[in-house]
Amino acid sequence: MTNPQVLRRWLAAGAVGAVAAGAGVIAAVTANAAAAGCSARYTVTSQWSGGFTADVSVTNLGDALNGWSLTWSFGAGQTVNQGWNATITQSGAAVTAANASWNGGLATNGTTTFGFNGSNSGSTNPVPTSFALNGVACTGTAAPTTAPTTAPTTAPTIAPTTAPTTPPTANPTATFTNPIKRNGPDPWLQYHNGFYYLATTTWNSTITMRRSATLAGLANATDQVIFNLSSRPNGCCNMWAPEFHLLNGRWYFYYTAGQNVSDYNPTQRLHVLESAGTDPMGPYTFKADLGNDWSLDASVLQVNGNLYLMATYGGDGAGQSNFIQRMSNPWTLSGSRVRFISPTLSWERQTAPVAEGPEPLYHNGKVMVVYSGSACWGPDYKLGLVTLTGTDPMNPSHWTKKSTPVFERNDANSVYAPGHNGFFKSPDGTEDWIVYHANSSASGGCDMNRSTRAQKFTWNADGTPNFGTPARLGTALTAPSGE
């Protein structure tokens, strides 16, 4: 039987751990380099000592393309380590990014975006200044055409009329479209003191967060480095599955990270940071390692004033499962952990037996946990539900599992592998929302190509959530109430 510890994101990603020390630096720059027919934008979204993350978008201003490649050259020895939404190759300073299998079509005025983690030596990381799309240099304008000359005519004189009085109209309803972060797996989103705060997996040595006063604004917000892991001996690299919880007046930031070794996945462990105050963006200090077993996807459950750590473990032959353990405080585990969600149903075992990503959900006195089932590197990753029907969260028999998934792929909307979710309230507190990641292709993997999405959900008569159908990317959705 395949070791369940390898049945996770690393199979599809091939990520490279970053080794670096020093404060994170944010840079955002645009390159509108030269060419009739296209424009390109290159943005450094996060930067740390020795490494960086960049997003690149290219707009086709010429005829529609069926297959594209964008080329540029680095000027300071930068190298690409891991890319997403494109196949990226490098020869010396020259870089070529070619379309992936699902995004080769590029219409006139169409835009495609891809990104990568890179490394740089020294303190400089200059932005490339020239790009070419399919060999044509990008200038940001299309080739001009000459319009025919038409003799001017004299416009007829029309007698003025009295303008009709138009009754005032109500302000238009605010909307947003998914994704709210294009490359944002394992999202966690909270609304706090007038802002939305979003953190996602970085797969490098930094923890980043972005914020916006509106949900729509998150899509273009800048990721800010809130903590650098490079000095942590047991968790320097490959950061996954961040969550931040406000407990006793401090934010506790839970995450998964491991060592800088080629086979890093067996070294992945749970860790927690503590904020200095009530700002979700910190500053943070390292607080504790949470155990010494392969583990991921930590979250916090609160029942009757008690804290419990929920997380995913493997290695015992039963497939990745969700466990629960008491906490004496937000950074200290107490007693032994207990398995309370195992992948026993057929829909939890598609591609591989997996139950992971447990997330608490409370409604009208009901305590529930929503979790992700089946392999994240397949299209059938989806959400399941257990409900605390007894009184003791540490007793597995006090949890009742729903036999069918509560949120799953929708081929008609091109949404695949929706999962690893979180929950948040609208600004006025009247609406419940789910945040999750998904792929736009059935061939998508468990990697940085997964995008962050959000949508409102309602409640069934029995008090369980009704998440509906995952919305197609680009669909205009009404913004949360109170924006």
Given 141, 164, 193, the domain boundary residue is 141
Are 84 and 184 in contact by the 8 Å Cβ rule? The answer is no
The verdict on residue 124 lying in a domain is: yes
Residue 90: is its pLDDT beyond 60?
yes
pLDDT top residue among 207 and 316: 207
Domain that holds residue 137: 4-141
- State whether 45 and 105 are in the same domain: yes
The reported pLDDT for the residue numbered 102 is 61
186 is catalytic: yes
Please state, in angstroms and rounded to a whole number, the distance separating the CA atoms of residues 112 and 85: 9
**Three-class secondary structure of residue 264 per DSSP:** coil
- State whether 118 and 246 are in the same domain: no
The verdict on residue 170 lying in a domain is: no
Instruction: Report which of 452, 448, 447 is spatially closest to residue 8, judged by C-alpha positions.
Output: 447
* Among 55, 223, 297, 356, the one annotated catalytic: 356
**Three-class secondary structure of residue 433 per DSSP:** strand
- State whether 195 and 253 are in the same domain: yes
Kindly state the tokens that stand for 32.
């509108």
How big is the CA angle at 300 (ends 255 and 244), to the nearest 5 degrees? 45
The reported pLDDT for the residue numbered 298 is 98
- State whether 227 and 120 are in the same domain: no
Q: What percent of the chain has pLDDT over 70?
A: 85
- State whether 106 and 222 are in the same domain: no
Given 124, 141, 158, the domain boundary residue is 141
302-306, 313-317, 464-468: least confident range: 313-317
Give the C-alpha distances (Å, rounded to integers) separating 197 from 31, 212, 314, 359, 360: 28, 7, 31, 17, 18
Give the C-alpha distances (Å, rounded to integers) separating 288 from 18, 118, 300, 329: 21, 29, 15, 11
- State whether 134 and 202 are in the same domain: no
C-beta neighbour count of 320 within 10 angstroms: 28
Place of tokens 């590197």: 377
CATH for 248: 2.115.10.20
The verdict on residue 294 lying in a domain is: yes
- State whether 371 and 467 are in the same domain: yes
Please state, in angstroms and rounded to a whole number, the distance separating the CA atoms of residues 223 and 241: 16
The reported pLDDT for the residue numbered 111 is 80
Residue 143: is its pLDDT beyond 80?
no
Question: DSSP code of 12?
Answer: H
The reported pLDDT for the residue numbered 8 is 47
- State whether 291 and 398 are in the same domain: yes
Place of tokens 């962050």: 452
Residue 307: is its pLDDT beyond 60?
yes
The verdict on residue 99 lying in a domain is: yes
* Among 186, 223, 359, 408, the one annotated catalytic: 186
Got the DSSP string for 34-72? -EETEEEEEEEEEEETTEEEEEEEEEE-SS-EES-EEEE
Task: Report the domain count for the chain.
Answer: 2
- State whether 115 and 193 are in the same domain: no
Please state, in angstroms and rounded to a whole number, the distance separating the CA atoms of residues 393 and 360: 12
What letter represents residue 313's amino acid? Y
What letter represents residue 57's amino acid? S
pLDDT in tens, 440-461: 999 999 999 999 999 999 999 9
Place of tokens 């138009």: 166
Whole-model pTM?
A: 0.73
Residue 10: is its pLDDT beyond 80?
no
The verdict on residue 368 lying in a domain is: yes
Band (142; pLDDT cuts 50, 70, 90): low
Band (101; pLDDT cuts 50, 70, 90): low
- State whether 205 and 134 are in the same domain: no
Residue 19: is its pLDDT beyond 50?
no
Highest-pLDDT range among 41-45, 85-89, 160-164, 240-244:
240-244
The verdict on residue 155 lying in a domain is: no
Kindly state the tokens that stand for 468.
């509906």
- State whether 424 and 372 are in the same domain: yes
pLDDT in tens, 58-86: 889 988 888 999 999 999 899 898 777 78
CATH for 100: 2.60.40.290
Band (309; pLDDT cuts 50, 70, 90): very high
What residues have CB less than 8 Å from 13, skipping those under 6 apart? 82, 203, 445, 446, 447, 448
Please state, in angstroms and rounded to a whole number, the distance separating the CA atoms of residues 299 and 198: 16
- State whether 286 and 406 are in the same domain: yes
Kindly state the tokens that stand for 466.
């009704």
C-beta neighbour count of 57 within 10 angstroms: 17
Give the C-alpha distances (Å, rounded to integers) separating 227 from 25, 287, 473: 11, 12, 31
Q: What percent of the chain has pLDDT over 90?
A: 70
Given 95, 122, 141, the domain boundary residue is 141
The verdict on residue 150 lying in a domain is: no
The verdict on residue 163 lying in a domain is: no
